[in-house]
Structure 1
Amino acid sequence: MYLPEIDYVDVWSFPIMGPDAVDGVPAKFVDACQAVGRDLQCRWHGPSTYMQNCVWTVSTLDDGYCHLALDAGPRPRHKTAGTSPLKGFSFGVPHIEQPTPKLTALIAGEVQDQLAGGPSYVQWPIEKNRLLMPSFRDGRAVWVVRSSDRVVTEIGALV
């Protein structure tokens, strides 16, 4: 099968948790990725994984569509016993011109699907024994308990 080479207009990489702004990266991507990155640090059910060194990579095409990847990044010197690196993954994002909350909910859903679909099945995020679902509600990106349609918190504010 022939896959054409993709010519990205821009490619940016930045750490999972910071900085607040990255030269050239649309602020909405940094904000959305950081919100999802904060939530990835908690309410995790599955193998112990370190994510402190993970790196987001945003690649844009000339038509406004883009590709987002989350990779393990450099291995930490002192990792906790029994933890393993995050297995990297990537996915397409429909269009760069979406509002930040919609983009945040979309990225959270894609990351959730990637984690659940891997060989080391991960449920993220959970509340008690329920998987929370990302949603766009009233102009906000939120985590929802599907069975009761109850909003738990905004994406990026899990504790």
Structure 2
Amino acid sequence: MNIVGACHAVGRDLQCRWHGPDTYVQNCLWTVSLLDTDYCHLMLEAGPRPRRKTTGTVALKGFGFGGLHVEQSVQELTVLIAGEVQDQLASGMPFVQWPINEQRMLMPTCRDGHAVWVVRSSDHVIAEIGALCG
């Protein structure tokens, strides 16, 4: 299913390039709810933390969103999910900018059949979504 591959790619990128509070994002849990209309609803929540709590970190606040159609390509879904997660993080408290390159927010988009992160001001591709931390 394309939605699973898209969630995996975005989840990998959630591990790096944050600006904001030190947020614990390891072990995040995606919940995919399929609707009878072939649309789905996604939820992202903080997963279980290790026994030794990392000092000074706060857990990711969960959020959900919908409107994704299961027959969209993995690239389209990856861009849509990355954009929605980015918007949710930037609009919540605490305010988190993700992902960033130097001091600039990156934008998810499709280029030549690939889901990529782009510097908004220069339109320069930084990485494929899912390979940002590598």
TM-score normalised to structure 2 length: 0.95
Contact 2:106–2:120, Cα closer than 8 Å, also in 1: yes
Amino acid in structure 2 at the alignment position of 1:41: Q
Contact 1:53–1:76, Cα closer than 8 Å, also in 2: no
Aligned to 1:127: 101
Amino acid in structure 2 at the alignment position of 1:153: A
Q: Pairwise CA RMSD of aligned residues?
A: 0.9
Contact 1:135–1:143, Cα closer than 8 Å, also in 2: yes
Aligned to 1:90: 64
The gaps in structure 2 that reach 5 residues or longer are none
Amino acid in structure 2 at the alignment position of 1:137: R
2:5 is aligned with 1:31: yes
Give the greater-gyration-radius structure (CA).
Answer: 1
TM-score normalised to structure 1 length: 0.81
Deviations 1:6-38 (A, max 9, x none): xxxxxxxxxxxxxxxxxxxx2x12211111011
Aligned to 1:154: 128
Deviations 1:68-107 (A, max 9, x none): 0001122331121000110000000331100001100100
Measure how far apart 1:134 and its partner are. Answer: 0.4
Any idea what SS the aligned residue of 1:94 has?
A: strand
| Length, aligned pairs only | 133
**4+ runs deviating over 4 angstroms:** none
- Seq. identity, %: 69
Instruction: Go from structure 1 to structure 2 and tell me whether the alpha carbon gap of 1:153 and 1:64 turns closer, same or farther (over 3 Å shift).
Output: same
Measure how far apart 1:53 and its partner are. Answer: 2.1
Any idea what SS the aligned residue of 2:80 has?
A: helix
